Structure 1
Amino acid sequence: MQDQSRPATGYPYPYPYPNQPVTSTNGYPPPNTTGGAAPYPYQNHNPYNAPQPNPRAILLRRLFIIFMAFLLILGLILFIFFLIVRPQLPDVYLNSLSVSNFNASNNKVSGNWEFQVQFRNPNSKMSLYYDSVLCGLYYNRESLSETRLQPFDQGKKDQMVVNGTLSVSGTYVDSRLVDSIGKERSDKASVEFDLRMFSSVTFRYGAFRRRRYVTVYCNDVAVGVPVSSGSGKMGGSVKRCKSL
């Protein structure tokens, strides 16, 4: 007698196997009739329906690349130019500094200073033009007098001597400044002054122009001025100043 709980041999199983996708008679999944997501997502391979790049973004990207390339080329040209030309600051020497009618008392300072400065252009390929040369006389960083020199040109490897005068007539200063000057005169028979020059210098090489401000420091210049005399001059030889 045949067991009723077992299916008859030769007939298909009445239910599909679990976890096995149901296929249609032609071997493809049946169409989705429930309105939900399809078992296999649809992929659009049409290139005309793909998202197109923004033309504005492409233009900005190209302009940025061109601008960066321009800066790189310009920087390379300037680097080669300065490597060949190598602009150098002028060399400045204080040849002499003298004072007459010098007096420091009662919180006042008076005197007439005369100086001679030598400018040397160390550049063999560039000429220099000095505009608005301002000279100042200082003592312990305190300004005593100022004067302006006439603008001048300087050729390649050229040297030029410039003379100037600084005058102080009863200028009021702090009492500590007068005491310091008096102590120096009594101890050393000299007074140390600072001469500084500020100028706008233009470096010229053909059509090339480069302008920069140059400051010249001639510090701690000892001028022999004993207490018994109101006149004196710079001691020692020519003093080289510092250009920045």
Structure 2
Amino acid sequence: MAETKFPPPKSAATATVGPNGGATTPFPPNKAQLYNATRPKYHPQPPPRRRRSCCCRCCLWTTFIITTVLLLATLAGVIFYVMFRPQKPNFTISNLHTSQFNITSTTIISKFNLTISTRNPNAKLTYYYDPISVFISSNDVGISNGLFPSFVHGTKNTTFLKTVLSSSGQTVESTTLTALKTEIKNKKSLPLKIQLETKVKAKIGSVKTKKVTIRVICEGVQFTPPAGKSAATVKTSGVKCKVDPRIKILAWTF
């Protein structure tokens, strides 16, 4: 009996023989497998812009609000100036004479009588002054000090302020006293600077402003010390007094 031959399987894989001599199912051909072959390709994404856009909007709104406030304040200042034409008060030394002046080895003993005239040139502004501190110095050395009382300065009004100034009795360095004595000996006089400092507020109709510190500086006074115990009048003609408002913003004073 002729042996029947079977054609080989179509697959390239080779069949294996089982333990009982029977053929087993061949393994499928091996296929190369890629790691994460089905994973989509990574595309980098731009960072989110939401936070940045919020910051930009905040900056723009802040800038807009600050600009608007500054414009409104400027407009209000212009309107106020056009309506009221505010002017600073004027200060003038009317009279200054001394009845005592002596330089000892450690201190300066002095006594001055000072009269200041101040004028309010405004027709609609009334000034309210706190007590006014007065200092007299020569070459940055304190000579005498005193105080003017508080007062109300009406519109288009001239007021005369009088006070007595005296030395505080503080000890002064010997080199400073020697320099003052030398200047008196050589020039027969001393340059004096008179400084006033106070706080003032203005009233316009029924509205009052906040208090502003002002400083008045009068320079150009030539003082000749009296001989002995006789009083001496100080020449103040031609002396100019400058009014300097001290406006404080945060930590800066202008």
TM-score range, shorter chain: 0.5 to 0.7
195-204 or 161-170: bigger deviation: 161-170
**Residue 219 of structure 2 is aligned to residue 225 of structure 1:** no
- Look up the match of 1:151: 150
How far the C-alpha of 1:158 sits from its partner, in A, is 0.7
- Give the equivalent residue in structure 1 for 2:204: 205
Cα deviation, residue 133, structure 1: 0.9
> Pairwise mapping of residues 65-80 of structure 1 onto structure 2 (< 5 A)?
69=68, 72-80=71-79
Supply the distance in 2 between the matched residues of 1:241 and 1:213 (Cα, whole angstroms): 16
After TM superposition, the structure 1 = structure 2 runs for residues 59-208 of structure 1, keeping only pairs within 5 Å, are 69=68, 72-168=71-167, 170-206=169-205, 207-208=207-208
Shift of 1:86: 2.9
* Residue 77 to residue 104, structure 1, CA distance change in 2 (3 Å): same
1:184 is paired with a residue of what secondary structure?
Answer: helix
CA contact (8 A) 1:95 1:239 kept: no
TM-score scaled by structure 1? 0.66
Deviation at 1:173, TM superposition (A): 1.1
The residue type equivalent to 1:94 in the other structure is: I
Query: Residue type matched to 1:123 in 2?
Result: N
Distance of 2:70 and 2:236 partners within structure 1: 52
Deviation at residue 197 of structure 1 after TM alignment: 0.3
Letter in 2 for 1:221: V
Higher Cα radius of gyration: 2
Question: TM-score w.r.t. structure 2 length?
Answer: 0.64
d(CA) in 1 for partners of 2:188 and 2:228? 9
SS in 1 for 2:201: strand
Q: CA–CA distance in 2 between the matches of 1:197 and 1:64?
A: 41
Q: Deviation at 1:75?
A: 3.5
- How far 1:186 sits from its partner (Å)? 2.3
Distance in 2 between residues matched to 1:187 and 1:64, nearest whole Å: 62
* 3-state secondary structure, aligned to 1:171: coil
Q: Is the 8 A contact 1:223 1:232 kept in 2?
A: no
**Does the Cα contact within 8 Å between 2:117 and 2:160 map onto a contact in 1?**
yes
Between the aligned partners of 2:62 and 2:176, the Cα distance in structure 1 is 62
Point out where structure 2 has 5 or more consecutive residues left out of the alignment: 1-39, 41-55, 245-254
Q: Aligned pairs, how many?
A: 194
- Looking at both structures, which has the greater relative contact order when contacts are Cα pairs under 8 Å and sequence separation is at least 6? 1
Report Cα offsets for 1:121-148 as digits up to 9, x if no partner.
1222211111131111212112233222
